[in-house]
Amino acid sequence: MKPIPLSMIPRTRSKTPFKDQKTLIHGGDYNPEQWLSVNPQILQEDMELMQKTGINSVTIGVFSWSALEPSEGKFDFSWMDRVMDQQARLGNRVILSTPTAAIPAWLAEKYPEVRRVDPRGYRPPMTNRQHHCWTSPIFRQRVRIINTQLAERYGHHPALSMWHVSNELCGQCFCELCRRSWSEWLEKRFGSLQAMNEAHWACFWSKQATEWRHAEPTCGYSDGLLLNWLRFCNDQYAQWYQFESDILRRITPSIPITTNFMSTVYGIDYQSLAKVVDVVADDQYPNYDPQHPRYLEAVPYWSLKQDLYRCMKPGHTFMLMESCPGVMQSRTPMKVKRPNIHRLEMLQAIAHGADGTCYFQFRAGRGGMEKMHGAVVEHWGTQRHFQTRRFRELRELSDTYEKIKPILGTSICPQVALIYDSQSSWAQQLTPGLGIDNPPRNTNLREIRYYDAVATEYYEPFWRHGIPVDVIPNDRNLSAYRIVVLPMHWIMTPDFARRLREYVHQGGILIATWDTAMADEHNRMLVGGWPGEGLTDVFGGWIEEVDRVGNGVPIAIDGLPGSGSEIATLMHTNGVEVLARFAQDFYRGMPAVTRFRCGSGQAYYVGTRLNQQARQALFEMILRESSCHIPFQDPLPEGVTVQWRGVCETLFAFAMNFSSQPHQIGLGSFKLTDVETRTIYENCLPLGPLQARVFEVS
């Protein structure tokens, strides 16, 4: 391996989630109100359990409205007072949630308008949670009262460290109030009905609106309209968050506020929502199962997801607000978490910039729909806790967190960026016929959506070389990056096209896949040749037809080892280097993978879904020819990666082996000191099966 100087891995200091944070957060949702009437000793018992397990933070109150306000205007904070005091005595930090994600029965019954209406116009009498209307003035009134009470009562409590607004903001409401606000949103966005009709291509199927309310979000005549409806819903989430947080901020201006995201999901643009939160926090449930045949395929997706979260709020680290230390009740079969997996999963998040990880939840309830969801303390009870594998694993993790705390607030400045665009993925999914599915590809592992799977395929080659990657939205400055990867960036705006063109002209390396720059922001096809918005000049070709042969169907190619699949993009080219050609069907001989030298840079176009072998070969070539710093010249063994964090002269390496085989990693000129054992490694680093280790690099 060619040595690379440490200065080649630039690093930076970022803000931690808590103010004056001295250690990694190791916390969890805590719902003692479910227990207090049956076991009044529970707070005392839990104090000891938390202390000995190393739990230093709790999130309370998430769904506690009916325990705090059992009937309208009658409040009972006595239990919460005790929990706050208990946590202060422990020296723990409290993330205090507003209870608004679940509506008490009295409220749902007395004020029907607070309940959501479904697309068929039906307003169920009650649903489980996350079911309030986004617009209802009465609901806002009730929320203002309970949030104000919480902020006034606990604003100066020594344990209060962060606010947590609601829970996993999501879902849609089709009531008259929300529909009115949709009409207003459209009017603001388009100014005239004509502009809206054109954007939604409403002449199709005779749907031209003569009133704003005619833009019907439950009817699939315009995928552009449905895309805008999703954007409207995202604005509702952001406004809701701002409404709740304004109440808190006025009373407690110095307490950071967050809400919990859900990794990557269809229909929610977390990169935009990140702009309104103080702290980026994720609920992460990969359900890693090393015995699953596709497990190793899923692992780099979760690294990509962490890098997406690291980049959401520049200058800030992020945290995991929820994770599961045991079995997941929402997955079938309910396999227990294998030994070592939890540590690996948590250190994977820390390796990519998280400054803490928390659980759902601290103590499992006895009833309800999640009674069997793995928790820190399960039904084995208080007495037996210290005999469990759960306790040993979490105690060891706490010890590791204590020893690696110098990594707090450290980060990294990569030379590679991958542009992640949720809205392109929604637009593709809304477009009939593309075959962009939501169904699970990895049964029992957490489902990985098609767009995410493709993005991961273009992230993984860097991951295998220990090359850090920023995963960023398309409005960021690209000039600092040597390589920019653009997987399936379906929507292209004139502004982004201009910035991509400048980036390549000025010497950047751009790697785009099929289905890039196909539609405008309203999901209307771009005209005049794809890749649209003039990017044909950047890639040196234009696409005549796209043959979509079906998910998983291989397509033969020449020029690279391995094969393509699923898509054949049939391109007219001019002056490009053809790196691979199609080797089947009537398009045999047409370019499949091309490189065009444009200005001082290069633009690659990948017109088919390459398999791993072909992708690896292509990336080896691109990396060799780029001036990108490559920590490990040869790809690391399958399932192994090294990620970095640091600041000034200090650099940390996280070496992680997700595979069930032991591996030896060649270290070249790196000298690694194990942060926990102080063992020094030169030349070669042994990594056991499913092992994660943290090193100081010198």
Tokens 């060649």 sit on residue: 666
| Residue 402 binding ligand GAL, by CB under 6 A | no
Q: Residue 116 or 373: which CB sits closer to ligand GAL?
A: 373
**Cα 632–633–637 angle (5° rounding)?**
65
| Residue 447 binding ligand GAL, by CB under 6 A | no
CB of 140 to ligand GAL, least distance (A): 22
CB of 307 to ligand GAL, least distance (A): 22
CB of 616 to ligand GAL, least distance (A): 35
| Residue 313 binding ligand GAL, by CB under 6 A | no
CB of 325 to ligand GAL, least distance (A): 12
Q: Residue 322 or 421: which CB sits closer to ligand GAL?
A: 322
What are the φ and ψ backbone dihedral angles of 6, each rounded to 5 degrees? -60, -30
Helix (H, G, I), strand (E, B) or coil at 587: coil
- The binder of ligand GAL chosen from 283, 393, 566, 696 (CB under 6 A): 283
- The binder of ligand GAL chosen from 51, 141, 330, 574 (CB under 6 A): 330
Beta bridge partners of 582: 557
Helix (H, G, I), strand (E, B) or coil at 632: coil
Dihedral-angle region of residue 552 (phi above 0 means left; psi in -120 to 50 means alpha; beta otherwise): left
Q: Residue 206 or 332: which CB sits closer to ligand GAL?
A: 332
CB of 287 to ligand GAL, least distance (A): 10
Q: Residue 167 or 422: which CB sits closer to ligand GAL?
A: 167
CB of 653 to ligand GAL, least distance (A): 32
What CA–CA distance (Å, rounded) separates 503 from 13? 27
Q: Residue 359 or 462: which CB sits closer to ligand GAL?
A: 359
For 118-177, list the strands marked E by DSSP. Answer: 160-164
What CA–CA distance (Å, rounded) separates 467 from 500? 22
| Spatial CA neighbour of 453 closest among 476, 430, 428 | 428
| Residue 370 binding ligand GAL, by CB under 6 A | yes
What CA–CA distance (Å, rounded) separates 114 from 146? 15
Q: Which residues contact 379 (CB under 8 A, 6 or more apart)?
A: 364, 366
| Residue 46 binding ligand GAL, by CB under 6 A | no
Quick check: 401 and 692 in contact, CB under 8 A?
no
Sign of CA dihedral 42, 46, 47, 48: positive
- The binder of ligand GAL chosen from 360, 391, 619, 695 (CB under 6 A): 360
CB of 89 to ligand GAL, least distance (A): 26
Q: Which of residues 147-166 bind ligand GAL (CB under 6 A)?
A: none
Quick check: 534 and 499 in contact, CB under 8 A?
no
| Residue 167 binding ligand GAL, by CB under 6 A | yes
| Residue 322 binding ligand GAL, by CB under 6 A | yes
CB of 27 to ligand GAL, least distance (A): 14
Q: Which residue is nearest to ligand GAL (CB)?
A: 360
What CA–CA distance (Å, rounded) separates 243 from 12? 33
What are the φ and ψ backbone dihedral angles of 402, each rounded to 5 degrees? -65, -40
CB of 370 to ligand GAL, least distance (A): 5
Tokens 């640091």 sit on residue: 646
Q: Residue 368 or 561: which CB sits closer to ligand GAL?
A: 368
Tokens 């986004």 sit on residue: 134
What CA–CA distance (Å, rounded) separates 329 from 492? 40
CB of 283 to ligand GAL, least distance (A): 5
| Spatial CA neighbour of 465 closest among 619, 633, 621 | 633
The amino acid at residue 432 is: P
CB of 373 to ligand GAL, least distance (A): 5
Give the largest Cα separation in the chain, rounded.
Answer: 78
Angle between helices 223-251 and 422-430 in degrees, nearest 10: 140
Cα distances (Å, whole numbers) of residue 638 to 16, 288, 351: 32, 16, 18
Q: Which residues contact 546 (CB under 8 A, 6 or more apart)?
A: 514, 515, 567, 568, 569, 570
| Residue 261 binding ligand GAL, by CB under 6 A | no
| Residue 168 binding ligand GAL, by CB under 6 A | yes
CB of 244 to ligand GAL, least distance (A): 16
What are the φ and ψ backbone dihedral angles of 336, each rounded to 5 degrees? -75, 160
Q: Which residues are catalytically annotated? A: 168, 322
What CA–CA distance (Å, rounded) separates 553 from 550? 6
| Residue 373 binding ligand GAL, by CB under 6 A | yes
Q: Residue 330 or 664: which CB sits closer to ligand GAL?
A: 330
DSSP 8-state class, residue 316: B
Quick check: 353 and 309 in contact, CB under 8 A?
yes
What CA–CA distance (Å, rounded) separates 639 from 650? 26
Q: Three-class SS string for 344-367? A: HHHHHHHHCCEEEEEECCCECCCC
Q: Residue 282 or 533: which CB sits closer to ligand GAL?
A: 282
Chain-centre distance of CA 478, in angstroms? 21
Q: Residue 59 or 415: which CB sits closer to ligand GAL?
A: 59
Quick check: 344 and 32 in contact, CB under 8 A?
no
Cα distances (Å, whole numbers) of residue 248 to 29, 88, 489, 540: 20, 21, 38, 54
Q: Residue 11 or 131: which CB sits closer to ligand GAL?
A: 131
Name the strands in the sheet holding 601-606, side by side, starting at the edge strand that comes first in the sequence: 469-472, 416-419, 483-486, 509-513, 601-606, 591-598, 577-582, 557-558
Q: Which of residues 656-675 bind ligand GAL (CB under 6 A)?
A: none
Number of residues that bind ligand GAL (CB under 6 A): 8
Cα distances (Å, whole numbers) of residue 120 to 217, 260, 366: 11, 29, 35
| Residue 76 binding ligand GAL, by CB under 6 A | no
Q: Residue 168 or 515: which CB sits closer to ligand GAL?
A: 168
CB of 261 to ligand GAL, least distance (A): 10
DSSP 8-state class, residue 377: B
**Which residues contact ligand GAL (rule: CB under 6 A)?**
167-168, 283, 322, 330, 360, 370, 373
